[in-house]
Structure 1
Amino acid sequence: MQARSRFEQHPLAYVRRQLGWSMERLAHELQAAAARHGMILNPGRDRIYKWESGRVTAPDDDYQMLLAEVFRVGQTHVAQLGWPWWLPAFDTPHDFSPRGTRAALREVLVALHHPDRRTFLAISSGALAGAAQQWATVEPERLAGALNGRRVDPTLVTWLETRTDELRAMTNTSAPECTDLVHSLLRTAIQLIDNAVYDHATERRLHQVAASAAQCAAWLHFDQGEHAAAQKHWLAARHASHAAADRDLGAGILSDLAYLATWLNLPATAIPLLETAQSHTRSPAARALLQLRRAGALAASGDTHATHRALLAAEKDLNRARPATTPAWASWMSPADLEVDSGRCWLALGQPRRAEQALTHGVALLSPSRERTRSLALAYRAETALARRDLETAAHDARTALDTALATDASRCIRLVQQSVQRITRHRTTHPAVQTLHEYALSRTAD
């Protein structure tokens, strides 16, 4: 079952709050705009709330015309981009040039000191697709201009590379405790790129450190439900990997952005990103991971046959994977992940028995350190039991998933598990195990 969209702040709410307007004030502005056009409309606070909460997919054409007038957005822009992408709440991706790379990295540096509280995607789906195509075709350039400062010590670069590899391994098991360490490493790499003196080989190594650290930071933000911050870090990581001429890492980062889109129930955005990334990576393990993420997006779109083909391709690539050809960012990819994600796909496609078989196998194969993945797998398996009306099994798996997720302190996992628990506990009057789960979940929430 595909998780619902997790936009915690709708772009309309963001724009309204940037102007310092209440819902009532926006409704008043719309009413005044309607009067100027001789239209008799009375939007009211309730209508604004429905737009911002997603209860209404999009305002009708008249209201979008009035909103655009109120926000001073051209009607051509509205027609070209569609709702909600035309709202003045989205950033524009930087181009793949030395200046663009510097700008992307400096934005992250600023964000480390002044966190961005937005939680919706900061880049529109169309802009993401365009930037992905540019990434795939533009060759990297060296940074332009002379750099002032001390020459980078090669020993320092080696130390940074070693710490990056160690922190990448830690983020899979120790988040969010290592967040400050990752941010410190990223800050150091960006400052060296900006201010130090180095040769071309060192420049590439520094950008690779920055790309890897930004990718790790993005996952840490994603796990805490901070989607805009995660996206900003992934975009900076993609720029840095491009400057480092590391196409495999760039493909992995592009697939991370696609995974975020699928998580936010935007599979149509994810699929073309994954197809672009797939054509620019050579490692079998990396290709397996990208195929698995593509399968997830296809399943969310309801395409059973394409999902099956992608899962088969992922299995074939994973069987060809060897440690010597596996990049660090895909080193965690394993048969357990193949089974867990296959189960999630079959659940989304309405095949609970097939999903349960894959999830059970995946849980058995998971390393004890992979508790975040375990919590999600158990939640998905609880959903399969619910679909089969096996409420006792559903309650048991949901309780274990809840305990596991709470122990990880990862908001992403906790929220998904809580949603599963809520769906199961709607049946608490029909089975004592579900009533017990309901009471237990309330007690854990109170803690």
Structure 2
Amino acid sequence: MAHLRRIHHWSGEDLARLLREKARQHGLRSGIDRNRIWLWETGTTPSKESQLLLAEVLDVPAAALDELSWPHWLPAFEQPAPFTPLGSRAALREVQITRMDRRSFLVLSSSTLIEVAADWARIEPRHLSQALDGQHLDEELLTWLEERSGELRTHAAGPHPQVSTLIDAHLNTAIDLITHDRYTEAAGRRLHAVAADLAHCAAWLRFDADRHADAQRHWQAAVHAAHQAGDRDLAAVALSDLAYQATWLSRPADAVRVLEHARSRTRTAAARSLLDVRRARACALLQDRHATQRALSSAETELEQMRPNDTPAVVSWMSMADVNADAGRCWLDLGDPHRAGTAIDSGLGELDPRRARTKAVFLTYRTEGSLQNRDASAAAADARAALDTAIASGATRCIDLASALIRRLNTRTEQPMIELCEYARDRLAG
């Protein structure tokens, strides 16, 4: 409660007033005052009626009050689940709860996000035999889930809106089996690997839709499930995704600290290369040129050691295209547009054409480079291509990135910019 008030800059009296106003809207009288707020914050449980009013003020669905007890339904309740079989089950069940998800709201604060990464980095998986009773999960069902998980990961990269529903359905099945079924230790590891893979895919689909809190929950669930499966690279990559999200939302210092923990237990060169690139991005935003250069050099060195036969599916897409284009983004942030342009051009030229979302993001990088080089025609052409590619991908995050960039150009008087803004209005209106 106190944390929520700080987030919203409310005093105790401010929150009490909002609750009284909400009660009046329902034709009710309420005596909630700042002393009542203080009692709730120090251990007293609010009445069901008061909790319903509070849920409305905080945009939390009333159903969450039945699914989670007080104070766990509060959107700022951020105690990370421990990396134990029971803790991981709790993290997985979290993603099955339907919540109203404000697009920029994050469920994990900076300190909690870093704590999750630090805990994972120092805790080895406990033997699942402690939590398993030796009964066998249906082998045919488990094999089927493993096969579907791989297929859905492949399809999740394309513009298929139905894939999200399928991934959620399969993830819920895996979580229910983990929670309620009986299986051997070996089957348990396979089942947690399926849940980790699906939760990881589901997180990216939510991130692309700008549903950041929900994406956080799914990435955290993926870390837990991968930990129980003994898959260090998938857990590290999911942690690095949380770091990437932090960078995207202008929290690069958090990203650097999370990545330090995540990289400490990676097993493959491809995973380390990805984490190095993401560290470079965060360091560039922090204007640390030396750390950025060191991270990019490490990313290239690791990528050169990447071998297809020992590269897990979660990072099989990693290539020099990613290193080069993200290096370009780094040089833009560090004020070197010429060097940035060369790197981004190389990245776009090498990029797998099926990766439309990534291409849209890279095209916005090139647009910003052209703007720094004062080339209005090139910037307008790249911005148009970025918008078209983002719309074709169906990813809200990419559409918002491209359209926000174009909105910044709305006051420019060059003819290519005027035409670009008119084109964007027509496309987005359609």
How far off is 1:425 after superposition? 3.0
AA of the residue aligned to 1:324: N
1:220 paired to 2:205 = yes
1:12 aligns with 2:4: no
The alpha carbon displacement at 1:19 in A equals 6.4
1:227-252 C-alpha deviation (Å, 9 max, x unpaired): 00000011111111111121121111
Query: In structure 2, how many angstroms separate the alpha carbons of the residues matched to 1:323 and 1:275?
Result: 25
Number of the residue aligned with 1:152? 137
Choose which of 206, 222, 230 in structure 2 pairs with 1:237: 222
Query: What is the root-mean-square deviation in Å for CA atoms of aligned residues?
Result: 2.9
SS of the counterpart of 1:425?
Answer: coil
Matched residue of 1:152: which SS? Answer: coil
Q: Mapping of 1:66-77 within 5 angstroms?
A: none
Contact residue 281 and residue 330 of structure 2 kept, 8 A: yes
Q: Classify the secondary structure of the residue corresponding to 1:178.
A: helix
Provide TM-score, normalisation by structure 2.
Answer: 0.82
Determine the structure 2 residue equivalent to 1:203: 188
CA apart distance, 1:147: 6.3
Q: Is the 8 A contact 1:90 1:124 kept in 2?
A: no
Q: In structure 1, how many angstroms separate the alpha carbons of the residues matched to 2:177 and 2:8?
A: 38
1:279 shift after superposition: 1.2
Gaps of 5+ in 2: 1-5, 23-32, 43-73
- 1:434 to 2:417 alignment: yes
- 1:94 aligns with one of 81, 86, 106: 81
The aligned amino acid for 2:389 is: T
CA distance in 2, matches of 1:68, 1:291: 49
Do structure 1's residue 407 and structure 2's residue 403 form an aligned pair? Answer: no
What is the TM-score normalised by the length of structure 1?
A: 0.79
Aligned residue identity for 1:154: E
Contact 1:352–1:388 (CA under 8 A) maintained in structure 2? yes
**Cα distance in 2, alignment partners of residues 312 and 93 from structure 1:** 34
Aligned length: 381
1:259 aligns with 2:255: no
| Alpha-carbon separation, structure 1, partners of 2:192 and 2:317 | 23
Q: Percent identity?
A: 47
* Range with greater deviation from structure 2 (221-230 or 367-376): 367-376
Cα drift, residue 170 of structure 1 = 1.5
Match of 2:150 among 160, 165, 173: 165
Match of 1:380 in 2: 365
Return the offset for 1:423. 2.0
Distance 1:14 1:258, change over 3 A: farther
Provide the residue aligned with 1:296 in structure 2: 281
Does residue 444 (structure 1) correspond to residue 424 (structure 2)? The answer is no
Structure 1 contact 386–424 (Cα < 8 Å) conserved: no
Give the Cα–Cα distance (whole angstroms) in 1 for the partners of residues 276 and 421 of structure 2.
37
Question: Which deviates more from structure 2 when the two are superposed, residues 304-313 or residues 114-123?
Answer: 114-123
Q: Does 1:306 align with 2:291?
A: yes
State yes or no: 1:117 paired with 2:101: yes
Q: Deviations over 1:339-368 (max 9, x none)?
A: 111111111111111111111111111111
Q: Which runs of 5+ in 1 are unaligned?
A: 1-9, 27-35, 37-65, 75-86
Partner of 1:108: 95
- Partner of residue 321 from structure 2, selected from 314, 321, 336: 336
**Residues 1:269 and 1:24: Cα distance change in structure 2 (over 3 Å):** farther
